[in-house]
Each structure stands twice: as structure tokens, then as C-alpha cells.
Amino acid sequence: MCAIAGIVKCDVRERAERSRLVRMADVQQHRGPDGAGLWLDGAVGLAHRRLAIIDVAGGHQPMTNEDDSVWIVFNGEIYNHAVLRREMQRAGHRYRTKSDTETILHLYEAYGPACVDRLQGMFAFAIWDRRQRRLLLVRDRLGIKPLYYTCTDHELLFASEIKGIVASGGLKVAFNETILPEYLANRYVAGEETFYRGVSKLLPGHLLEWSAEQGCRVRRYWHPPQDSVDLDLPLSEQAGQLRAGLERAVRSHLMSDVPLGLFLSGGLDSSGLAALMAPLMPHPVKTFAVGFAEREANELQYARLVARAIGAEHHEVVVSADQFMQALPKLIWHEDEPIAFQSSVPLFFVSRLARRHVKVVLTGEGADELFLGYDYRYRVTALNERIGRVYWKGVPRFLRRRISGSLPLLPVPIQRYASRTVLAYEPGPRGLFFDNFSVFPDSLQQSLLLEGRTLGASDPYAEGLRYWEEHRGGLLERMSYADVSTHLVELLMKQDQMSMAASLESRVPYLDHQLVEQAMLIPGGQRMRRWQTKLVLREALRPLVPEAVLTRPKMGFPVPFGSWMRGAYRSTLDEYVLSSRALDRKLFRPETVRRIVNEHLAGTRSHGDRLWLLVNLELWLRMAIDGEEPQPLERRMDRVAVSV
């Protein structure tokens, strides 16, 4: 796991600047504390920070091939590199190291950009071909590793984190306000755009080729299966095949020359990994769990249960509200954007704990999207769609609109329930699947965003709907496909950046691309049936996981942020949501912001997730746009003064 960065000048007479490259790499030092490398060749410069995992002594970068015609900087792990290495050696390539990085170089010599099709793993890399004067940027199929870039009239810049591009001095830092509706609805930006104007993310399963003659050309080289396949297999046989595929993925992800452990939440996904991992290890598995003092946000007892069952060496950390709030600004700096998910913060604390014992961890990210594991999101959508067939057919449209318009007149408890049902939405995924589970749905954004920043300027669900239409299967398969392509990518960025903030490599066996292709061909009815989520995965893991874990309800790692805002950290709202500095940015209508805060403090409505997004956005703006250093949020007991 590493950080990469680079500069390519459009004019070959110019020179890539060493000082800029050093800044771009060093600001990402947390991703690679074990070493640094730099290579300059006229108009081109590549930089690298290394977290040594494979071939600790010999895998230094930037790395070149036998005749110095191809150079690479690489972040990630190639799990099938031993097989590929033997193939390349038989073809006559001479190796200087034992690293997987060198295998990518030789594959490129043999296959050009198509080398990516041979790779199994997580990766983001840049290759400079000196003969063809071509740059190749590649990101892995699922988006496990990040890669950002910006193209100007005179140069191309890239880095593992946006802060690397900012550190180059070649970017005029500005907030990309067009993404605001999408952030408010979904917590994140799903497409190529970022919070920084002019900075793009290379999407999962995509590669970018650059040359002075043709400029930047981006194309997609992989996508998950897009058809619904009616496999006529009984559930038991399907589960057996899935377990075999997962066993292969776990075995391959244990490749390491340094100590390795596991994040164990006590949920089905990580517990299954623990059970599969234990017999493959020469010593007890080192497991790591995190919780909060609040009972409703603590599932440590399940992690302990699984740890005992596999004979693990178990470690835990409990995060207090003070620790959470004090760490938040620095972690926003690490993510280069407002933090989408509150669980990012405890993830950093458990990563820091794990780093004291190991250098690599496995984690269960990805199983929820593959196997329809989000109880509320998937089950409610399926139920609404079933009821809706009757409702939309039997009730005239004008009457449906009248019913929908009258919902705000209902008492709050009834309204809260009715607004999630078919009574509030017309047919189609935009309402039932996307808007229904957004943080700020369309109706609230209309009253929140100031004139000129309305939904008409940017559809917050455009990317999700694009993937929904791309899949040709039924409701269940489309929900999975859309979330794998959008929601999961943001979760992976959380996983990457919070673990790398602690200089820890995290690996995701559920997202081995061969296992993903296998899982997404399983019919939706075997992934979720009669409101039972993760049906086939539960059956696959049933012989391995304690019954209490198989039958427990999903917690989803709840963070009690909303209650903290009513308690010791109420003044956070005063400073970062209600202050004149925040409101003077002219993004939101002050009266709507004050109403949201008032309702939350009074307990008439719970707006914890909405306040989380508003606080995070203001903190990010102060650091990224105003240029402030991250400062810990302090506990203050004084009462927030609000008015309507």
C-alpha cells in the first residue's frame, strides 16, 4: 500500500519540477512511511511513498523494466502475481526483485494497456512509456484503491489523494458547487467529479491514456455482470459454490511478507472471514474491534463471541464522544472531502489500534451490496414495489398526487412512516429507491438550497439511475448493481483513507473480482427472499459461524452523533451550522437551516444525519477553501441560541 503522484508536461521542452513532486509525495507520507522515491525525465516526473508489504527489501519505486523504457508507480496488491511472474519469466523477462510491481511492468511490455485484464487484486498505478511518450493511469475494477487527476492546458497531474494534487501548486483551489445536491442527497459524489473544481477521480474499472497528440482518453475496461441469470440451482448448491469461491478469495488475500490481522465487527461478513481465515494461519488470528460506550452503538459482545470461537488474539478500543469529535477535523483533512459516513471515525481508531500489532488487515466491506444486506433499504424498496403494483394500477394519478400532497398534514409519527411508502412516490426507482433513502430528499432540498443552487442544476441521482438502467435484470439485481457501482465505491474510499491515515493496509476479500462476478450472477431471489437478507451468504457460512451471529439483527455500526448534538456538543451546531460565517456562504436558506436545528434540539424530529452533513461540509470548506489548519472540536456546555 502506497501513495503515488506525477507530473506530465504537455510541452516536451518543459521540465517537471523536483520540488513540486516532493511536495506531492510528502503530503501523502501517511500512506507510505517506509520510504520515498522520485524519477525525473525531462517533461515527466513520478513520485512514490512506500508502505512495504511485499518484498520489503527490494520493491522500491519508481521502478523500471530491463531497458529503462517503461517506468511505474504502483499502489495496491496483485494477488496472482506469483502465477503471472512464472509466465513472464517463461516469456524471457528478467526479474530484479520479488515484488508484484515488477510483474505489472513486464505484463505491460507483453500486452500494453490490456495488461490490466490479467491482474487480480486492488490497484492504482501509473506507467510512463518512454518510447511512445504515453502515460497510462489505471484503477482496479471495484475502486478499492483511489486515483485522482487534473488536466490543464500545459500539464497533467495525478495522485492517490487530492491533497497531493493541491500540494503541487498547479491547481486553483475552488469548491465545485455543482455537486452540492448530490452530496446532500447521497452523502457523496458518485461520478467523476469531486468537491474540488477541476479535479476528477478515475472511476473504478477505468483507465486513462494520455499523449501530447491526443490528450486524455478515458475508457472503461471492466464492469460487473449486467444480465440477470436464471441459474437453476438449489440454494444449498449455490451456497456451496459461493463458500468455495470465498475460500479461494480469502486464501489469496493472505499473501504478505508482514504481520496480518482482521477487522471483526461481530456481524456476518467479518465473522465469516474470521472462520475461513483461522485454519489458514500459522498462529491465532489477530482480530480488532471498535465500539462506543453507548449501549445502542456497541456490538463488541458479538465480536468477542466470534473471537473466542476461532481462538483469536482479540483487541478492542472504545471511542468516547470527546475522542470522536476531536479527531473529526483531521480525518476530514485525510479524506479530502466531507466525511460521508459517521462510521469512518471509529474506523480510524480501530485502524490505529491494529497498526500497533499488524501492518495488514482483512475487512468485510462489500458483502452488503453484493448480497442485499441492508435490511431497511432493500426490504422497504421490495415491499413498496410489490404494494405499488396494485396501488398505481388501481388509483388514478390525480388522486395519487392529492394523497401525496396531503402527507405533510398528518401527525409527525404517521407522516414519518407514510412518507416512506408508495403513498409518497410515483412508480420508478428515482423515488422508491433513491430519493426515499436520501439524507436530504428532493422536497427538503427545494426549501434548503438558495436560488440558483436548486435541483434543476444537477440531478443528485443521475449516476445511480444510469447504473440502474445499465443492468437488464429485475428489481433485486438492479439494486445490487447500482449500489456496487456507487454506494460501495464511497465505502471503499472510507476504508482506504481511514486505514491509510494510520499507515495500515486494508484488504477486501469479498471484492475479489472473480468472486464479485460469481455473486452477481446469483439470482436476486437467492440473495434476498421473504425479507431475509443475505440468504445465500448465510447458507454458505452457516457451518462456520455461531448461530447467534447468523440470526442477529444488523446494526450497521450506529454512531450516536445526533444525541451528542443535543448534549455536550450542541455548540458545534452554533459554530458550524448556524454561525454567520457558515450562513454567509450563501449555499442554504438560513430559515430552513434554523428550523432543522430547532426541530432536532426539541426532539420533534431526528435530523442527526442531516446535521452531520452540514457540520462536515463547513469544516471541509474552512480547511480546503479557507486554508485553515484542522482544529479539534471542543466540548462546550453552553446552550445553542437558535431562532426561526
Q: Which residues form the catalytic set?
A: 2
Closest of 123, 124, 85 to residue 107, by C-alpha:
85
Quick count: other Cβ atoms within 10 Å of Cβ 236? 12
Closest of 335, 589, 301, 355 to residue 452, by C-alpha:
589
CA dist 246 → 121, 364, 508, 556 (Å): 14, 11, 11, 22
Closest of 377, 365, 378 to residue 525, by C-alpha:
378
8 A C-beta contact, residue 208 and residue 216: yes
8 A C-beta contact, residue 594 and residue 604: no
8 A C-beta contact, residue 81 and residue 63: no
DSSP result, 228-280 = -------HHHHHHHHHHHHHHHHHHHT--SS-EEEE--SSHHHHHHHHHHGGG
Cβ contacts of residue 371 below 8 Å, gap of 6+?
A: 480, 519, 527, 528, 533, 534, 535, 536, 537
C-alpha–C-alpha distance, residues 432 and 602, integer Å: 29
C-alpha–C-alpha distance, residues 562 and 296, integer Å: 13
8 A C-beta contact, residue 157 and residue 149: yes
Sequence letter at residue 11: D
C-alpha–C-alpha distance, residues 336 and 490, integer Å: 13
Rounded to 5 degrees, φ, ψ at 14 are -85, 170
- Order across the sheet with 360-362: list the strands: 313-319, 286-292, 260-263, 360-362, 505-507
Ramachandran quadrant class, 566 (left: phi over 0; alpha: psi -120 to 50; beta: rest):
alpha
C-alpha–C-alpha distance, residues 373 and 88, integer Å: 41
C-alpha–C-alpha distance, residues 445 and 151, integer Å: 32
Sequence letter at residue 239: A
CA dist 541 → 165, 271, 370, 372 (Å): 43, 9, 15, 16
C-alpha–C-alpha distance, residues 19 and 363, integer Å: 37
8 A C-beta contact, residue 288 and residue 264: yes
37: helix, coil or strand? strand
* Number of residues assigned to the chain: 644
Closest of 111, 237, 227, 86 to residue 540, by C-alpha:
237
Cβ contacts of residue 613 below 8 Å, gap of 6+?
A: 183, 184, 187, 338, 439, 440
Closest of 544, 484, 542 to residue 510, by C-alpha:
484
DSSP result, 272-340 = HHHHHHGGGSSSPPEEEEEEESSGGG--HHHHHHHHHHHT-EEEEEEE-HHHHHHHHHHHHHHHTS--S
8 A C-beta contact, residue 190 and residue 468: no
Long-range contacts of range 635-638, CB-CB < 8 Å, 24 or more positions apart? 635/321, 635/322, 635/325, 635/568, 635/569, 636/568, 636/569, 636/570, 636/571, 637/568, 637/571, 638/571
The DSSP symbol for 433 reads I
